[in-house]
Amino acid sequence: MGIFSSIMGKIFGHKPAAAPAAPAPQAVPPPGQPPAAVAVAPAPPPQVVDVAVVLDDLAASASQKLDWRHSIVDLMKLVGLESSLAERKELADELGYTGDKSDSASMNLWLHKQVIKKLAENGGKVPADLMD
């Protein structure tokens, strides 16, 4: 599994404290009908994950102030991933970065934009101001 997949998994798998899970609907057969004959309603469509809500929730409980909206390092730390230069270079390779990886400032800006873009492409609701 790649680094982006790990980031996405941590965000899309997180349940914010303010959003309790709804119980799954149960099919109950009408009186006199065998349970096997009951049609189960199709599963509801997958819900869009509000990336800002999830990351803000994680940031609220973090032991240090992390600016995930502007920093790929902070975003990676917030979801519990290693944010070393080596890990960011690996993420850059995974996402197709063609710039100079020794210019970490430029690479980091590109990585942040790409991660936000890819989260949106994969069903994440991302704040419009981060989609520049």
Beta-carbon contacts of residue 6 (< 8 Å; ≥ 6 apart): 79, 81
Nearest-10 crossing angle of helices 85-95, 3-12: 90
75 assigned to some structural domain = yes
| Mean pLDDT along residues 28-45 | 60
Longest distance between any two alpha carbons in the chain, whole Å: 72
Inform me whether the pLDDT recorded for 102 exceeds 60.
yes
For residue 48, what pLDDT band results from cuts at 50, 70 and 90?
Answer: confident
113 assigned to some structural domain = yes
39 assigned to some structural domain = no
Q: What is the pTM for the complete model shown? A: 0.75
φ/ψ (deg, to 5) at 125: -90, 115
**Alpha-carbon gap, residue 73 to 68, rounded angstroms:** 8
Q: How many domains does the chain have?
A: 1
Beta bridge partners of 124: 49
**Alpha-carbon gap, residue 123 to 105, rounded angstroms:** 28
40 assigned to some structural domain = no
Domain extent, residue 92, equals 3-15+46-123
pLDDT digits (tens, 9 = 90+) for 82-99: 999 999 999 999 999 999
131 assigned to some structural domain = no
* Region of poorest pLDDT, from 29-33, 49-53, 55-59, 108-112: 29-33
Inform me whether the pLDDT recorded for 130 exceeds 80.
yes
